[in-house]
Amino acid sequence: MLESLESLLLDYGYTGLFLASFLASTILPFGSEGIVVILIYMGFNIPAVVLVASTGNFLGACTSYYIGLKGRGYIEKYLRIRPDEIKKAETYFSKYGSYVLLFTWVPIIGDAFTVAGGLLRLRFLVFSIFVFTGKFLRYLAVAYFAGIF
């Protein structure tokens, strides 16, 4: 199913990339990096690909942040994040502060970081700066390595 979803999203170029990046940061268990690489190989504008993917992924993270603001009941209802993952994310926050949000792209724990940011009522501006920066740097690295190989 995910393969057919990815191929459908690829047919829509930047719009498909935006949707894939958004969904990958919220409810669907797949990454959008492959679509980034394919679009680059297809000749799409690299800065635009990086910006579109970063923006979509950031807005998906904002959705998770909002669900975290609403409380633990919403997390269990709408997201596939286990309570132990949230607890681990909160531990990282208490140890490292807001800097952990630079790593929201990390599989499994990254989504928990965004939700924990909401649960902990982190200021949205701080959340936005760290999350967007981390996601942008990740897609920039993906685009860079895609361009080399």
Tokens of 109: 């724990």
pLDDT along the chain (149 residues), means of 10: 60 89 80 89 92 96 91 73 82 91 86 89 96 96 84
Q: What is the pLDDT of residue 139?
A: 96
Residue 28 to residues 17, 33, 93, 124, Cα–Cα distance (Å): 14, 14, 24, 24
Q: How far apart are CA 31 and CA 25, in angstroms?
A: 8
Residue 61: which domain range? Answer: 2-148
Q: What is the pLDDT of residue 70?
A: 87
How many domains are contained in the chain?
A: 1
